[in-house]
Structures are given as C-alpha cells and as structure tokens.
Amino acid sequence: MSEEPALKDQIRQMIEEHARLAVPIGTLDDDADLFLAGMTSHASVNVMLALEDCFEIEFPESMLRKSTFQSVAAIDAALSELQSVSA
Amino acid sequence: MTIDDLSVGVDLVDISEVAKSVKRFGDKYLRRVYTEHEIACCQGPPDVAAGSLAARFAAKEATLKVLRPDGARPDWRSIEVVRLPNGSCKLRLRGAAARLAVERGLGPFALSMTHEAGLAAAVVVSGSASDYDGEPIMEGPEP
C-alpha cells in the first residue's frame, strides 16, 4: 500500500518544479531563504498557484507576503494554517 | 519638491516565464494576477501577449517597491496598468494598494514599460501626494 508523501516533500516538489532556484532544492534545508536561492517574485506566483492546485486551497490576500513563501518551513506553516481553517 | 520626495521602483521579468505560466496555469494565472482590462489589452499571439503581460507584472512589482508594504502585500490586481486611447499607459491603484499609497503620502505615479529580447521591464516613480493637484489616480473598490 502506497503512502501519501509527507507535506514538506510535496512542497519541495512544487518548489523544484516552479521556483527556478539556482541550486537543487535538495541542497537546501527547510529554513533556507528561497529568494536568496534565486526564486523571483514571478516564480513565487507559480509556486503559489501550484500549491493551490495541489492542496485545493487558496491563499487569501492576508497571506500574500514575501515571508509566506520564503522557505519550505514557512510554506509548510502557511499550508497547515490554511488546512486547519478549512478542516 | 526635493529628491527626498521621490520614490522609485524597477523590476525585470523573463517573458518566457510568463508564457510558461499562461500555458501551465491558464485562466487561473491570468485572473489571479491581472485585471479584466489588462487581460483585454494583452491579446494576440502567445509570445506577443506574454511580452505585454510580463511588462505589466514588472509594473506591479515596481509599484510594490515604491509602496514598500510592511505586512501583507496588496493583491496584484489592486495595481492596474491602464492603457489610454492614445496608447500610453498609466497606473491606477485600488483597494489595499491605494490605501497604502495614501498612508505613505505617495502619488502621483509615473510609469514606463518596455519589452525586448526576452525581457520586460518597468520603472515607477512617485512624487509626494501633497504636491499633486492633478486628477485622482487612486480610485475604485477592491479588485
């Protein structure tokens, strides 16, 4: 029986596909700054949309801040907050 | 007005990345970032449309650099590039972006955009609202 990948693994996959980082996401720890690693503002939009598609959520305007998408840990916290609200 | 009353923001966007976003996310991408007017102004062959969209995204980001939000950033659609009948473009702020401009004492906003060789760029300059007596540029409800 297959298991759902861990939330942070899914986040890392979205980042790998859409963030256009200068280095592989696998070389960064959860708290590493994705913008310092090369993610542009426009790429962060793609990450946001990919996360919304994957988790069937929508980031409200109050969460549209740079810090929300700054790291794997930050995204994980934001998704957990959104999922707890919708649960 | 002195140099201290001026604020400037600039941004550069890879047009191919915008084209990929349109292809990957389609209407969801367009409706989340751009207003109806902006979408209507950016029709045409995919490469041409992507260049126009990328210039507008650069304009929104350049404006955010002028507005310098401390917390949540205004919705992208609250910063609109309006194309005038003569073909020139100006900025129109609404909702959270307009409120932020008022709080910061900013306005009016001057905009210049360009796209060439795969890149789109925009520069936004703002003066001090207290020195401005032209037509209001911040108007309308939340996007």
DSSP B84: P
Question: Rounded distance, CA B107 to CA A2, Å?
Answer: 57
Judged by a CB distance cut-off of 8 A, whether residue A15 touches chain B is no
| Residue with tokens 């955010």, as numbered in its chain | B64
Q: Provide mean pLDDT across the span B103-130.
A: 92
Residues of chain B in contact with residue A62, where contact means CB-CB under 8 angstroms, are 72
Check residue B137 and give its pLDDT.
Answer: 53
**B24, B57, B75: residue with CB nearest A42:** B57
CA distances from B78 to B33, B36, B60 (A): 9, 12, 9
Instruction: Report ipTM (2 d.p.).
Output: 0.84
Q: Which CATH class is domain B3-131?
A: alpha beta
Domains in chain A and their CATH numbers?
7-86 (1.10.1200.10)
Shortest Cα–Cα distance, B90 to chain A (Å): 21
pTM for this model (two decimals): 0.89
| Chain A residue whose CA is closest to B54 | A42
| Closest B-chain CA to A40 | B13
Contact B120, B58 (CB under 8 A): yes
Position A73 pLDDT exceeds 90: yes
